[in-house]
């Protein structure tokens, strides 16, 4: 097979799925009806696996902002900001994000993945060290690889293990970047951020927090875990995405370090990627305004998350963490999890099926992501489907 030899294990896994007639990774949504409903395989389906936390994908003001941008600026930039120049909206959004987080400046990337890839590969080079939580997203690991920094994992949410590894580094902590997430995407648990900041203060280094899943979800304004814990000033870099609570596509980093601007001239994922389309920027700016003003959306989101978590807990399912918009049901076996996912879909409930190595501890997860747009009736129907499929014990 030559260069394809490396895919033998993957091919075997695909054959196994084909034999089962279950493939959770190539589901096609035939039609989107609303932020929480769609047609899949000809069946009206509740969407409970989209990360559309505030339900803003159908917000009328966001859609109108996109239409105006299309009319006035066209469909795309057709190049990178370095080559084609920045549209005014790109810079406006960066400044609005910086103001939102009370930081000096911001930089916008074309996706959330590229935000981590671009920042980490540029900040941390071969002479630097990245200490990252073991459960960090793949984009964080990939950023470390691209930059050539030495990546050292510490045990998930374990400040004592982080401190032990920092202690071993001695003076090298000056060239160390600590990376954690505000809300972890697989199990929905929060970082022990205050304790991690205490370690940073004791040993030095820099701290980056990925707020991809906590932006719009946590904090009085929706800034994320850093705001909720009142530690914004203790964090050097905050990265995030537009593809969750903001209902679009793109990513960003904000910081008080004036050197952030130098990333524009050094980061390959920024320099060599086409910039976000005008419509994407316009919808994101409007969504950020809605997020800032819309405490009612966060209230409804947390009510929905608590209700679903309570319903599944009462059914004695093993859940990954305390209530959050990410609610993961833990299964021990792959076949059981696959069949459960497939049966949920047949009952009109779409959720995410998560496999190792993406999942912690080799677990298999049925992952629900809840939205402010879900109705109490939809939450009840999700619980009813889980109750119907409850394995006999």
Active site residues: 185, 213, 244
Query: 337 Cβ partners below 8 Å, 6+ apart?
Result: 331, 353, 364, 365, 366
CA distances from 152 to 145, 149, 176, 191, 289 (A): 12, 9, 10, 18, 38
CA distance 225 to 173: 24
What is d(CA 247, CA 65) in angstroms, rounded to the nearest whole number? 13
Per DSSP, which regions of 273-334 are E strands? 326-331
Q: Please name the residues in contact with 175: beta carbons below 8 A apart, sequence gap of 6 or more.
A: 127, 128, 129, 205
The neighbour count for residue 88, using CB atoms within 10 Å, is: 10
Three-class SS state of 218: coil
On whether the CB atoms of residues 328 and 319 are closer than 8 A, the answer is: yes
Give the whole-angstrom CA distance, residue 382 versus residue 377: 9
Q: How distant, in Å, are the alpha carbons of 234, 263, 380 from that of 206?
A: 9, 16, 44
Given a contact cutoff of 8 angstroms between Cβ atoms, the answer to whether 208 and 239 are in contact is: yes
Helices and strands (DSSP H and E) totals, the chain: 14, 14
Please, are residues 324 and 361 in contact by the beta-carbon 8 Å criterion? Answer: no
Other Cβ atoms less than 10 A from the Cβ of 9: the count is 8
Residue indicated by tokens 């949410």: 157
Q: Which residues contact 173 (CB under 8 A, 6 or more apart)?
A: 166, 203, 204, 205
Q: How far is residue 41's CA from residue 207's CA, in Å, rounded to a whole number?
A: 45
């Amino acid at each position: 097979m030559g260069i394809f030899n490396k895919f033998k294990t993957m091919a075997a896994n695909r054959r196994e799925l084909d034999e089962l007639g279950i493939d959770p990774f190539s589901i096609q949504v035939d039609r989107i009806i609303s932020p929480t409903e769609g047609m899949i395989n000809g069946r009206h389906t509740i969407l409970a696996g989209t990360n559309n936390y505030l339900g803003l994908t159908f917000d009328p003001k966001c859609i109108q902002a996109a239409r105006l941008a299309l009319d006035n600026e066209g469909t795309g930039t057709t190049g990178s900001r370095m080559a084609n120049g920045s549209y005014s909206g790109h810079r406006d959004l960066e400044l609005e994000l910086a103001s939102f987080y009370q930081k000096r400046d911001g930089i916008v990337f074309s996706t959330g993945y590229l935000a981590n890839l671009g920042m980490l590969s540029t900040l941390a080079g071969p002479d630097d060290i990245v200490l990252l939580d073991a459960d960090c997203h793949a984009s964080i690991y990939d950023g470390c690889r691209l930059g050539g920094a030495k990546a050292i994992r510490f045990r998930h949410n374990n400040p004592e293990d982080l401190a032990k590894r920092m202690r071993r580094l001695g003076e090298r902590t000056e060239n160390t970047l600590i990376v954690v997430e505000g809300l972890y995407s697989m199990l929905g648990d929060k970082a022990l951020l205050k304790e991690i900041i205490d370690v940073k203060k004791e040993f030095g280094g820099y701290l980056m927090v990925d707020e991809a899943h906590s932006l719009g979800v946590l904090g009085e304004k929706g800034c994320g875990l850093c705001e909720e814990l009142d530690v914004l000033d203790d964090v050097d870099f905050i990265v995030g995405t537009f593809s969750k609570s903001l209902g679009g596509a793109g990513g960003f980093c904000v910081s008080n370090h004036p050197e952030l601007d130098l990333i524009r001239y050094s980061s390959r994922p920024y320099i060599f990627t086409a910039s976000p389309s005008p419509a994407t920027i316009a919808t994101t700016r409007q969504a950020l305004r809605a997020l800032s003003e819309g405490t009612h959306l966060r209230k409804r989101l947390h009510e929905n998350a608590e209700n679903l978590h309570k319903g599944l807990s009462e059914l004695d399912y093993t859940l990954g963490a305390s209530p959050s918009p990410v609610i993961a049901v833990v299964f021990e076996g792959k076949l059981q999890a696959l069949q459960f996912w497939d049966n949920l879909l047949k009952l009109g409930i779409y959720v995410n099926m998560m496999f190792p190595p993406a999942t912690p501890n080799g677990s298999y997860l049925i992952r629900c992501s809840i939205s402010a747009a879900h109705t109490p009736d939809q939450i009840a129907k999700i619980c009813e489907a889980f109750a119907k499929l409850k394995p006999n014990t």
